[in-house]
A and B are shown apart, each in its own frame.
Chain A
Amino acid sequence: MKLKKNLAYRKIDGKIFIVDMKTSMLHSVNEIGSLIIDLLQKNYNFNEIAQKIVQEYDVNIEDVILDIKNFVSILREKKLIE
């Protein structure tokens, strides 16, 4: 699962900004969301992403997996991933 091919995006000051020229929409993603996208782009699966997040932040792994799933479903709703 990755960001759609035609999307332009950049991490600027810790946040990822995504430009969807098809819909003329500009999206911004918070710091954790940006980390998730970074790892998705590197082909990490949900469990691996959750483990990385747990290493960096003091959080519970089950909650993190749920958060990742929610976040990904938002990305899917906005048609940003494929």
Chain B
Amino acid sequence: MKVSEEIFNITFQKRIPLYTTIEITYKCNLNCIHCYLPEYYKTKKTMTTEKIKNVIKQIKNLGGLYIVFTGGEPLIREDIFDLIKYAKGLNFVVLLFTNGTLIDEKVAQKLKFSGVDKVEISFYGREIVHNSITLKNDSYKKVVCAIRYLKKEGINTAIKCPIMEINYDEYVYLQEFAKNNCLETKFDFVLVPKNDGDSTPQKYMISQKKIKDFLQKIKFNHKKSLDLISNLICSAGRNIVGITADGKVYPCLQFSYKIGDLNNQTFKQIWFSKKFEQLNKQNIDNYVECKSCDLVSVCNRCPGVAYVETKNFYMCSFTAKRLAKVVQEI
């Protein structure tokens, strides 16, 4: 068994929060058309530095190994370097998700000094297209500079791009850009609804035909799995957990089924709470539709998206079904 499978299996079975995503702010200097964060979240009260550090410490004690800092735009918070340094001091793998526009030479140096393990930058394509998604005219130029500064510091950097109708043709450019700059690329074409259920972002999703073309072009090879359990039961809440900037704990940031609140509970209390226990009691029988669905072996359903779509995380997710149909055809 590969070590990655070993660690995944142990933490999945023993329910250890291996991988935590912490949103540290709702604020952002961009206004991306597809963003899942509602505009009005920006005024919400967010966790203090000390609170976040305390939560990270508790997660370490429970066996956590990976921390992702995201937002909003995490680099808006001045304590971000301190938070990264703190998590590194506790021997976490630390990743930072950013739009890149706030990274100048000095910030790149501070990131290097903080010990961050990897920076993932959202990059949507050539200048006109990128700026028409972020709705900010200098954002493309800033991202390109940010990548240069990060590379100069020797920081492991990846570019990340949701493929939408508006930037469908851009992946060729991004792949070329990544190749020339020795960067890892991550493409996705699932757009999730906003955290409050508003489905506006999903109107930017590409058509099924384009998804098929794209998957064929990148020679996507879906490993068909006949194991119903691994296909249906997601890791969210088992070895993955999501914490929002206002201190709420969710199985995953994409799964807006609130489990607890760090403003009046410890992380440990939440992790071992009844609500989490109940969520983890799920078994195949809960998935009435999926159990008898002929797409189950190719479906990559997300309970969080199903929950937003249907208010029931066991039901069929229309987003997953759309994608599964395409995967089945290729």
Check A12/B11 contact, CB under 8 A, given A21-B117, A26-B3, A28-B6.
yes
Bound: A13/B6 CA distance, A:
11
Contact B63 A12 (CB under 8 A): yes
Docked-complex contact A12 and B65, CB < 8 angstroms = yes
**Are B3 and A12 in contact, CB atoms less than 8 angstroms apart?**
no
Min distance, Cβ A24 to any Cβ of chain B, angstroms: 9
Given A6-B115, A12-B10: A26 and B4 interface contact (C-beta under 8 Å): yes
Residue in A12, A22, A26 with the greatest tally of chain B CB atoms within 10 Å: A12
Selected contact of B3 from candidates A7, A13, A17, CB within 8 Å: A17
Is there a chain A Cβ closer than 8 Å to B107's Cβ? Answer: no
- Report chain B residues within 8 Å CB of A22: 156
A17-B65 contact, Cβ under 8 Å, with A9-B91, A10-B91, A12-B7: yes
SS of B interface (majority)? mixed
Contact between B10 and A21, CB atoms less than 8 A apart? no
Contact between A13 and B14, CB atoms less than 8 A apart? yes
Between A9, A11, A28, the greatest number of chain B beta carbons within 10 A of the residue's beta carbon is seen for A28
Among A6, A8, A13, contact of B10 (Cβ-Cβ < 8 Å): A13
Say whether B57 faces chain A, with CB atoms less than 8 Å apart: no
How far is A48 from B297 in the complex, measured between Cα atoms in Å? Answer: 54
Q: Is the interface of A mostly helix, strand, loop or mixed?
A: strand
CA distance A12 to B60 in the complex (A): 10
Does B72 interact with chain A (Cβ within 8 Å)? no
A76 within 8 A of B: no
With contacts A6-B115, A8-B65, A10-B65 known, is A17 near B93, CB below 8 A? Answer: no
Q: How many A residues, CB 8 Å from partner?
A: 16
Which of the residues B7, B94, B156 comes within 8 Å of A17, measured between beta carbons?
A: B7
B16 close to A (CB within 8 Å): yes
Interface residues of B in 34-79 (CB under 8 A from A): 60, 63-66
Taking CB as reference atom, which chain A residue is nearest B10?
Answer: A13
Residue A19 contacts which of B6, B63, B93 (CB distance < 8 angstroms)? Answer: B93
Interface residue ranges of A3-46 to B (CB < 8 Å): 6-13, 15, 17, 19, 21-22, 26-28
Inter-chain contacts of B88 with A (CB < 8 A): 8
User: Contacts of A13 on B, CB cut-off 8 Å?
Assistant: 10, 14, 16, 63
The interface bits of chain B over 246-264 (1 if a CB of A lies within 8 angstroms of the residue's CB, else 0) are 0000000000000000000
CB<8 Å pairs between A and B, sample of 10 = A6-B117, A12-B18, A13-B10, A13-B16, A13-B63, A17-B65, A19-B65, A21-B117, A21-B118, A28-B7
